[in-house]
């Protein structure tokens, strides 16, 4: 199968893809991680049963999830790990080559700029924005830090797909409005503020506090059982 | 209802609680956030239908989820927001008063130490640990930064419920083994490394890359539709 065929197939399937349940889409990155691990171990094929045990889900869930995208498994053979990994990478846009700006050059913004999360997902940060005179004009992870007042000017001359929002809460709503007006493709929102964006803008919220609450719940539960 | 009664009821229910589906537990923090927002707006009661619209889920899912914990709704009245918020806070251990250490005093560790995530969930950071001479001996967010070699000594004299792991990947596995040996209650793992902990230790992974992949997928999907 050459690349053009793959692209055409994808485009045809694309019309149906919005019907894929959001829960399945949210699970795909997890498949991506486990398959990458199998690849790294040199494992070429895996049954839905073995993959299920590895991921602590049912084999039937795995078959259902992967069927949503046309089903890559073969009866009696299982899944070809490399092919499945390639397909999921492509579906998730892992090699898409998006650009992003990070708004808020505090600890979290700098952690993201310095980390490997973007590079591993094919996203390239091009600049940071902040208001503090202590950081505006400096460089973080080799990237320029501009004043947030120059955001509109920057968008005029640069192609920005994604805005990563790590500002303090009070600044979030206004920046959200400006990003909507700038017709940014997507906002990755770490502020914990519910943003009211233009419906065309993809919004992905990260609520670290939710994860911490789940941890606390499980910890309390474990300790009650010990009592 | 006084506090002792509440505690006893909880303890009795605790025996059944492990049967609550993991998916429901994972959704509770989201209920918590929406209910807190309603409380802040002074809204005293809400129907499952209105709550469902707000949260973009079905009313039947809301009723099912909340029934897992005994069901706090009343026919024809709906949910008492303050009561429901209080119950979910209690279930999630939001007021539990856990302590934590942050291992890795880089940008992410500092972002967490300086942020409000811990305080809002009733978790108190007590110290950070690192290996870099540039930070060991300094203070971050008013907390001491110790050398990671002194972790075992610290645990001898301090009650630590949770270890927050923000080290570089290569250090994660060894720290994980030491935390298992120290019988820490839970590990909140930001390293992206799959940790092999003692089964008694609660493990909560944060995979920011998964969230970014979902964003990229949705962005690509939106752009294909435009084509």
- Lowest mean pLDDT across A39-48, A125-134, B75-84, B190-199: B75-84
Residue in B12, B96, B213, B227 to test binding to A, most A beta-carbons within 10 Å: B213
Q: Does A142 touch chain B (CB under 8 A)?
A: no
**How many residues are recorded in chain B?**
227
Rounded CA gap, B144 and B127, in Å?
5
Q: Return the number of CB contacts < 8 Å for A and B.
A: 188
In contact, A101 and A163? CB cutoff 8 Å:
yes
Burial A95-112 (b: 16+ CB within 10 A, else e): ebebbbbbbbbbbbbbbb
Q: What is the mean pLDDT of chain B?
A: 84
> What is d(CA A51, CA B100) in angstroms, rounded to the nearest whole number?
34
pLDDT at A5 > cutoff 80: no
Q: Which residues of B touch A8 (CB under 8 A)?
A: none
CA proximity to B131, closest of B150, B153, B107, B110? B150
Per-residue pLDDT averaged across A23-45, rounded? 87
CA distance B57 to chain A (A): 12
Confidence of residue B226 (pLDDT cuts 50, 70, 90): very low
Mean pLDDT of B45-67: 85
> What is the 8-class DSSP label of residue A18?
G
Taking contacts as CB-CB distances below 8 angstroms, the residues of chain A near B18 are 221, 225
What is the rounded average pLDDT of the residues B177-202?
Answer: 94
Asked if residue A216 has pLDDT above 90, the reply is no
State yes or no: pLDDT of B14 exceeds 50. no
Q: Residue A14: its pLDDT value, please? A: 36
The answer to whether A209 contacts B110, with C-beta atoms less than 8 Å apart, is no
Nearest CB to A219 within list B186, B221, B222? B186
- Round to whole Å and give the CA distance between B113 and B125: 7
Residues 6+ apart with CB under 8 A from B81: B35, B38, B39, B43, B44, B45, B46
Q: What is the pLDDT of residues A63-91, one digit of tens each?
A: 888 877 665 666 677 888 888 888 888 77
Shortest distance between the Cα of B153 and any Cα of chain A, in A, equals: 23
Set of chain A residues whose Cβ sits within 8 Å of the Cβ of B212: 117-118, 121, 123, 188, 204
**pLDDT confidence of residue B194:** 86
Confidence category of residue B95, pLDDT binned at 50, 70, 90: low
Residue of A146 and A13 predicted with greater confidence: A146
Q: Do residues B61 and B28 touch, judged by C-beta distance below 8 A?
A: no
Nearest CA-CA distance, residue A73 and chain B, Å: 22
Contacts of B204 in chain A (CB under 8 A): 211-212, 214-215, 218
pLDDT at B4 over 50: no
Determine the pLDDT at residue B106.
Answer: 95
Nearest chain B residue (CA) to A202 = B219
CA distance B197 to B174: 10
Query: How distant is the Cα of A158 from the closest Cα of chain B, in angstroms?
Result: 18
Instruction: State whether residue A114 sits within 8 Å of chain B by CB.
Output: yes
Out of A92, A106, A219, closest to residue B93 by CB: A219
Element (H, E) at B74: none
Return the bridge partners of B123, or none.
Answer: B98
Task: Find the mean pLDDT for residues B129-134.
Answer: 97
Most confidently predicted of A71-80, A150-159, B118-127: A150-159
The answer to whether A214 contacts B25, with C-beta atoms less than 8 Å apart, is: yes
Nearest CA in chain A to B218: A202
Is B13 near chain A, with CB under 8 Å? no
**ipTM of this complex:** 0.76
DSSP category for residue A78: B
- Write the pLDDT tens digit of every residue in B141-161: 999 999 999 999 999 999 999
- Across the interface, whether the CB atoms of A28 and B161 are under 8 A apart is answered no
């Amino acid at each position: 199968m050459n690349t053009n065929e793959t692209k055409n197939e994808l485009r045809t399937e694309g019309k149906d893809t919005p019907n894929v349940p959001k829960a399945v889409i949210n699970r795909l990155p997890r498949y991506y991680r486990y398959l990458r691990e199998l690849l790294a171990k040199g494992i070429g094929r895996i049954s839905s049963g073995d993959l299920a045990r590895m991921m602590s889900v049912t084999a039937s869930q795995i078959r259902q999830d992967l069927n949503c995208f046309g089903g890559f498994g073969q009866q009696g053979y299982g899944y070809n790990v490399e092919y499945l990994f390639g397909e999921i990478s492509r579906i998730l846009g892992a090699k898409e080559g998006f650009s992003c700006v990070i708004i808020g050059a505090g600890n979290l913004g700098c952690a993201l700029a310095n980390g490997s999360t973007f590079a591993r997902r094919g996203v390239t940060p091009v600049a940071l924005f902040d208001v503090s005179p202590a950081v505006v004009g400096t460089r973080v992870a080799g990237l320029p830090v501009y004043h947030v007042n120059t955001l509109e000017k920057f968008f005029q001359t640069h192609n920005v797909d994604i805005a990563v929002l790590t500002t303090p809460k009070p600044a979030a709503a206004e920046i959200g409005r400006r990003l909507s007006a700038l017709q940014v493709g997507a906002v990755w929102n770490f502020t914990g503020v519910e943003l009211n964006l233009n419906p065309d803008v993809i919004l992905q919220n990260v609520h670290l506090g939710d994860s911490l609450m789940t941890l606390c719940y499980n910890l309390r539960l474990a300790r009650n059982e010990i009592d």
